[in-house]
Each structure stands twice: as structure tokens, then as C-alpha cells.
Structure 1
């Protein structure tokens, strides 16, 4: 039995997910959304991708309504019992003893005190996020047909409305030249990613995990201009520079990084 047949027989059909498919390029699928890519000249059709390449990592298509059925089936234990789901929601322990906030194909996190089990997705022309607030019996699904759509930001905005969470507000301060110089540099995360803090005249810029300009809220803390819930906190000042930072991206994860030497 192929992966496609298994998904259809054991998940889609029993759960009445009648608008969920393996997205073969050739198959005519009613109301299939087109994916788009943004260029300097405007939007265009997304680059072609044979759906046999991503396979189980991104070749399924669905609707918000069908994803509601998926969430309900998990909550009601019609697909997996509570013990099996708890295994899925348990952070993995690495060989060096550290734990990662990741279970069996699911990211384990929280938002403003609400436990969140979910995952984002990205493929040519699309960007998605499924956020299951398992203790609140609530689920948010954001499906976008352009990769630059900020699905995490949209999810957080919906969650704040759903849980009556006040909007984040910051009071920017004016940084001095010395403060900007302390922060600028290249930092390396624990998993080897590069976070570049650049200096653009009287402001800092962030490149790496995300790209944005930064607004200061204190001598050691900044927030992203396009998303005021994303924050960068600098620490470990030595010899006139910061040697560590923490990049906080709500829902997604936090990154701890140290300054690259040399």
C-alpha cells in the first residue's frame, strides 16, 4: 500500500476529510489554490515542483474545514488514544542530554500561557501553520498561497482575540552610537545558524532566522519593526561588546547565540 493509499483509507475517509488529497500535479482537484511567488516586478506563479519529491514532507493539500475535522478526531481520540498522543507531544531528548521542543513531527511550545502543539509548513508558493491549543480545545489553521505571508503573526493575532490577550506594546528609546556598536556583529546559535546584527546608520538590522530592522526598548532589548512580538535580547557584555543574544520568536521558538570570534 502506498503512502497516499494509506492516508486516504485510514485517515481521510474515516474522518470525512473529503477535501483533502495527495496533491498530484496532474490531477484535477476542485478549488485547488494556486501558489504565488513575489518578485520585484510583482507576483507570478510559483516555481513548478513535482509533488513526488516532497512526498510525505509536503505533498498533502487540505482545507480549513477538513483540518477542523482532523483536530476534533484527535481531541475525541477517534484516531489515536491519549497515551499515543502524549508520546507525540513529548519533547525529544538528544544524545547529549539536551531536550528539544519537538515531538513526533510536532513542535511543542506555548503562547501566553496556553500550551500549543503544532507545525508550520512551507513549499513553493505556500506558507501554512496549524496551531492546536490542546488544553483549551481550540485550533487555529492559517493557509496562505504566498510564502511571504506571516502566518505565525496572523496566528498570534487570532489567538490574542480568542483568549482575550492584550496586544503587545513597546515604548521605543533612542539608542546611542556606542549602544549600536556593542550589539553589531555575527552570532552563532546552538544549532549552527548564523544571526547577523548589522548597523544601518542609527539603527540595527537582523538577518538570519528572520530579516527585519530592530527598534530599541532598552539598552539590551530590541523588537522587530514588522512584528513587535519578536524580540532580541543582548547579554554578556565584555570589552565594550555584547557576546550573547537571545532571539525570541513566539510560537516558533527561541534561539540562544554567541558572538562569532575573529
Structure 2
């Protein structure tokens, strides 16, 4: 038995002896009710309570008082260290609300304005002809492209060290936006990385130092900090894991030296203190908190349901303030029911854990009798209907492609596998999510698709009807393509009847034809080849949810650089 398990056994023995030696406290009805709630919470986390699996730390508070905190599973599988309520986790995008709060403190003090052009503080950013404001960054309405995807397209691997300078390099090279600022909302991390830099340039302090001084120390969050140095030692830090191809756990820890959008380290106890501050502000003026909890709007005036780094929504009829986080093997969710004064924190170290779902189940234990119906009742859809809806759909706005298939008696998104649940005529919900996929027949008789998720702007697709490319057409796409925006050259070649694409330091990815000049890649999203007026292929575009139409120009053979073997 290792040292940690020996210590745990000794502690358990001492506690058992103390219980026998001390007079038993009479259990009240209130104690029994609390114990019952806690047993139900334990049952929720039973799958993650083993001695050979990652797991979660859970914290629950009611009316500002700690109700329950417990660890489940293992913090470090190499040393059999158990997760406890004091375990420290990388909480990924939960970081954003602290970055937003820092900005809003400075706004309240008159040191900047939400309407300021970000180039006032970050003059190295290109002038896109449209002003991007501080508010656009906070509310994900800036139109900036996703920083991590830009680095990937520039040759960075997932486990490479990514620094603040790297992120700034990627963002400042952007020549086009995904959309006009304020016209849409698309979640991207780049905006919050830039907000962290704005704090530094306005105050002369790093975001870490500013947040320590103005947020964490005043709230007694002693185990919380923005992590700016991947080599820094952090006591009680959890490791993180993902499942390997053989079903074994593999280490999966982000390698970041940048923060603002991510990289907050914290515990369930510290985050409960912060969540209570959202309900009963002790740090930050009332006006600051009001701004935090006010939804941003689009140019047309429509509310987006996102405030200062927090989602403002409802769950089963009850108002919630919530955000999740996911980086490498870390998964996290914080959920506050302000009207019921219930706070829930779930921090996990396994990539296959679903903390948002777990937090919702905890909320149902505590508030189920006050909640509305859990899901919209499902309706039946004949197999003939499902088969008619299956196909490939393309968005003229974003150049995205989604593919829908019938499999095992249900409609599913290709590559995702989650069964669609019918909830109305030609309307479906993927699994237990609240998203809606609505299929409609257009005037020309073709099916169209509208996907409505958390954001208020639906994604509109039309069915792809273009024929598959011929063998001769596939040959015509092969060549080398250059994107100055990410300083990279891509090689497209034909192998075994299929196109593939590769670039230095990345695995080769297959481009699957979906019709015409359009292809899909599991790594990239949609790859669309472009043509000159003469019909000759002259470039390609890469598009996905957070990055639209990044262009690469086809190089003449004489200009195409040779890729070294293995690149």
C-alpha cells in the first residue's frame, strides 16, 4: 500500500475512534434531509469514484454557506493521489468571467470605456475598416478568428508551448474578420486574450497581479491565480487525462503561457466564494456587477444571453448564471441559481466527463420540485422521413458543412454520433441538449436546415446538390497553396483516389468530397477550392464554426516550396 493510501487509512481510523470515544450528536430532521441530498450527489458521481480513474471535485453552497464538498476519483493516476475539495484544477474558460470583471472594474473607475476602439490599447492590430470595441471582445461579437485554430494552421501542435506572444502574433496577422463587429455572436478565445493585454496596458500590472489584488485576495480565494508560467510549481494541482485508442488513460495537460481566455487555477471552495459574490457583491460596486450580469446585444438590438464572461440563461424554468470550461483533459462547470441562492461547482480531470450535465443533475436534486419539465416530449418520426432528411448541408454565410445520416434507427450528425430526438415536425434535439435542428423544405423543393443553439443567431444551411468531383477534377486540385495570414504553405495531393492535405508538423488529413469543389476534413472543417474566371483552380478556403474562409493562394509549380520528408 502506498504512502498516500496509508495516510488516508490512518485518518479514517482516527476519525472512527473519535466518533466512538465522543458522545454521539443527536441527528435532527434537518441533518437527515441534508444527508439524503448528499447521498444522491454521491450517487451521481459513482462512475467517477474509482481508485483507477480521473474524477471530479464538487462544491455546493446555499445562502452563502457551504453545504457539501467532496472529491471523487484520482488526481494523479501515477501516484494514486485522490481528488479532494482542496485539489487545484485548471478551469479553462471559466477564467473569462474574471477577465471581464477586471475590465469592468476599470470601466467603473473611468480608466477605459466599453465603447473604446481596441486599437487605442492594441495599436498593433490591423485596421479592418470597422471598429472593434471592448464590448465586442467581452460579448464574442468582434468577428475575430479563433486563436488556437490559427496557430494550428500555422504549424503549432496541440502540445506545443503557446505563449501570449504567440497568440498576439496569430491575431495581429488576421487580414479579414469572420463578420462585421456586432452583427453576429461566435464564441472565440482571442477576444479574452486581448482583454488580458488591455488590463496590462491600462494599469501597468499583469492581469494575474491585478486580479490577485482586486479580486482573489479580497474574497479570500487563496488557492486561485491566473497561471502564466507552465513550469511554475503548484501544490495540490491535479493532472488531467483523456482516453487513448486502446481505452487507457493518457496524460492530457495544456501547455500554456497565456491567459485571459483560460489558465485560471482554482478550487471548488474558492469558486463558491466567487459565485456568492455574483449574488451578493462584496468585491466590485453594484454597477460593476450589474454590467457583469447584463447581456450584450447585437447591432440590431437583439440580446445574446452572454454577459461578462458568463452565460445568462435558464434551466428548466429557473434563472441561471453559468459557464463551462474545457482544455485538454480538464473539464469544468460553474452554475448559480441566483433566485434560489444555490451555487454548484464541478471541476474534473478527465476529458470524457460532462460536468455541465453533472451540475444540472445536482441542481435537480436540490431544486427539482421547483423546476419545470425536463425535456420537450419526443414525437415519432417515420424512418422514411429520417432518410429524406439525411444528407449534406452547406452554409452560404459561413461556408460550413454539416452531414446528417440515419444510423441505428435514428438521425445523427456524421462524426458526432449522438442520436437526434424528434420534438416536432422535422425538428430534432441532439440527445439531451436544448439545441434545435429544424429541417424545412425550400421553394425549390430542396431541404434547408436551421441550427439554433445557445446563441440567438441561427446557422442556416441548404442541402448540397452538386455532383461529386470526377477523378480528373480531383487531380486538378492537387498542388501547393500559400496563406500569408498564417505564414504557411499547404500541400494537397491525390492518394488512393482521395485528396489529402498536409503542412509542416501536422498529420496529413483526408479531404472527403461532399459535392462540387467542396470537401470536409475532421481536422480543418470545410475546405472549398476556388476558381478564377477561366475556371482554373486558383486557391482554397478553410472554414469552420470559429474561422471563416481563411484563404490560401495556389502557387505556380516554380514558386512552390518543397516539403521535407516527414513534414
TM-score if structure 2 supplies the norm length?
Answer: 0.40
The answer to whether structure 1 residue 257 and structure 2 residue 459 are counterparts is: yes
The answer to whether structure 1 residue 63 and structure 2 residue 270 are counterparts is: no
Q: Distance in 2 between matches of 1:155 and 1:149?
A: 11
User: Where in structure 2 are the equivalents of 1:83-122 lying within 5 Å?
Assistant: 83-122=287-326
Cα distance, 1:11 vs structure 2: 1.7
Q: 1:40 to 1:82 in 2, by over 3 A?
A: same
Contact 1:183 1:234 in 2 (8 A): no
Counterpart among 355, 363, 366 of residue 151 in structure 1: 355
Match of 1:200?
407
Q: Distance in 1 between matches of 2:360 and 2:397?
A: 26
RMSD over aligned CA atoms reads 3.0
Contact 2:411 2:420 in 1 (8 A): yes
Contact 1:223 1:229 in 2 (8 A): yes
Counterpart among 427, 438, 441 of residue 234 in structure 1: 438
Q: Distance in 2 between matches of 1:97 and 1:172?
A: 35
Q: 1:231 to 1:104 in 2, by over 3 A?
A: closer
Give deviations 1:220-260, integer Å, cap 9, x for gaps.
23343xx4344534243246654233445xxx557733232
The structure with more radius of gyration = 2
The answer to whether structure 1 residue 49 and structure 2 residue 265 are counterparts is: no
Counterpart among 205, 220, 229 of residue 426 in structure 2: 220
The answer to whether structure 1 residue 40 and structure 2 residue 245 are counterparts is: yes
Q: 1:110 to 1:215 in 2, by over 3 A?
A: closer
Give deviations 1:152-191, integer Å, cap 9, x for gaps.
2112212222221465485563622244313543254977
Q: Distance in 1 between matches of 2:424 and 2:302?
A: 31
Structure in which a larger fraction of residues adopt strand: 1
Structure having greater relative contact order (Cα 8 Å, sep ≥ 6): 2
SS at match of 1:28: coil
Give deviations 1:38-70, integer Å, cap 9, x for gaps.
2212211015503x13x1221111111111111
Count of residue pairs brought into register by the alignment:
254
Q: Distance in 1 between matches of 2:236 and 2:276?
A: 24
Contact 1:49 1:124 in 2 (8 A): no
SS at match of 1:73: helix
SS at match of 1:58: coil
Give deviations 1:87-145, integer Å, cap 9, x for gaps.
12222122344432212222221112212222211212211111222222222212111
Moved over 6 A (4+): 189-192
The answer to whether structure 1 residue 15 and structure 2 residue 216 are counterparts is: no
Of 16-25 and 228-237, the range deviating more from structure 2: 228-237
Q: Distance in 1 between matches of 2:401 and 2:325?
A: 22
Structure in which a larger fraction of residues adopt helix: 2
